[in-house]
Amino acid sequence: MTRTVISLSVAALLAVGLILTGCNGEEKAKEPAGSRGPQTAGQPSGGDKPGPQQPAPPQPVAPTQPAPEPAPAPAPAPTTPEPAPAPTMPAPEPAPAPAPVTPPVPAPAPAPTTPAPEPAPPAATGEQKTPWDKAKVGDMMVYNLSGGMKQTYKVTAMDEKQATVQMTTVIGEITNSTDQKFDRVVKTAAAEQVVMPEGIKTETKDLGAETIKVGDQELKCKVTQTTTTMTLPTGTTVTVGKTWMCDDVPMGVVKSQSGPTEGSMETVMELVEFKRGA
């Protein structure tokens, strides 16, 4: 683009110069030949005033060559990245010094043990018939219990060893009935074989006999009083119980009372109806 502009400028200057040269030639041709005398070279004529000097024709201007464009700077040589430094491994920690080995101490010889004494042979045991041994199919007993409950026992079957009894419990409007079996004969142990739990002590006293009427039957009962003392970390509790037992009643119990003292006992179980079976 720059070269084209320069070439056009030079051509325009040459054209202007040719035009001016042509104009000067025409003016000289129009001038009469005698109007000018001979002139010494380099001097004007005596009577004529020197005419205006014609401008020298413009010299042709040599076309200027545009300055060469600077050569592009060479592209920088690709540089190879320096390799990353190799990771340095931490120096290994020195191994701990081995613990000193302590020679094993021999275990002391076991002390001689005295064999435990053999348990004493159990005391002679016997057999005792329960009130159920005299029961008959059809026997029925009705008890009132504390808390408003009522229980009915009815013997439904008998065999050589057991009596089968239907037990019905009524609490308010709720009635529950189950069958239970009672042994006719049980084994008894001597008094020294009966071991009471620690902190509990019982004392039984025979109060003689007493007759209690149930319905139209009079039942001769054996009366027993039992005093139980229970010693706990929180204190000592004493309970006195009194029981009327009769062998003619399959359950054995006719009446039972319990309380903290003899004068404050409450009835917890009492026979109110009793019928013998066939």
121-174: pLDDT as tens digits:
555 468 888 888 889 999 999 999 988 899 999 999 999 999 999 999 999 999
Summarised one tens digit per residue, pLDDT across range 136-149 is: 999 999 999 988 89
pLDDT for the residue numbered 155: 95
Count of other CB atoms within 10 angstroms of residue 249: 24
Closest by Cα among 244, 236, 234, 239 to 203: 239
Summarised one tens digit per residue, pLDDT across range 227-244 is: 999 888 888 888 899 999
102 pLDDT above the threshold of 70? no
Maximum distance among all alpha carbons in the chain?
Answer: 205
Whole-number Å distance between alpha carbons of 206 and 193 = 21
Assess contact for 179 and 196: CB atoms under 8 A.
no
pLDDT for the residue numbered 243: 95
Pick 197 or 81 by higher pLDDT: 197
Quote the Cα angle for 50-52-57, to 5°. 130
Assess contact for 255 and 225: CB atoms under 8 A.
no
Highest mean pLDDT of the ranges 3-7, 123-127, 251-255: 251-255
| Mean pLDDT, the chain, whole residue set | 73
Whole-number Å distance between alpha carbons of 256 and 264 = 13
194 pLDDT above the threshold of 80? no
AA letter at 68: P
- Rounded to 5 degrees, φ, ψ at 242 are -135, 130
Which range (1-15, 54-68, 224-238) has the least confidence? 1-15
Pick 274 or 65 by higher pLDDT: 274
Query: Which structure tokens are listed for 170?
Result: 């009524």
Segment 84-107 mean pLDDT: 62
Whole-number Å distance between alpha carbons of 142 and 275 = 9
Pick 163 or 71 by higher pLDDT: 163
52 pLDDT above the threshold of 70? no
pTM of the model: 0.51
Pick 54 or 170 by higher pLDDT: 170
Query: Which structure tokens are listed for 237?
Result: 């509790």
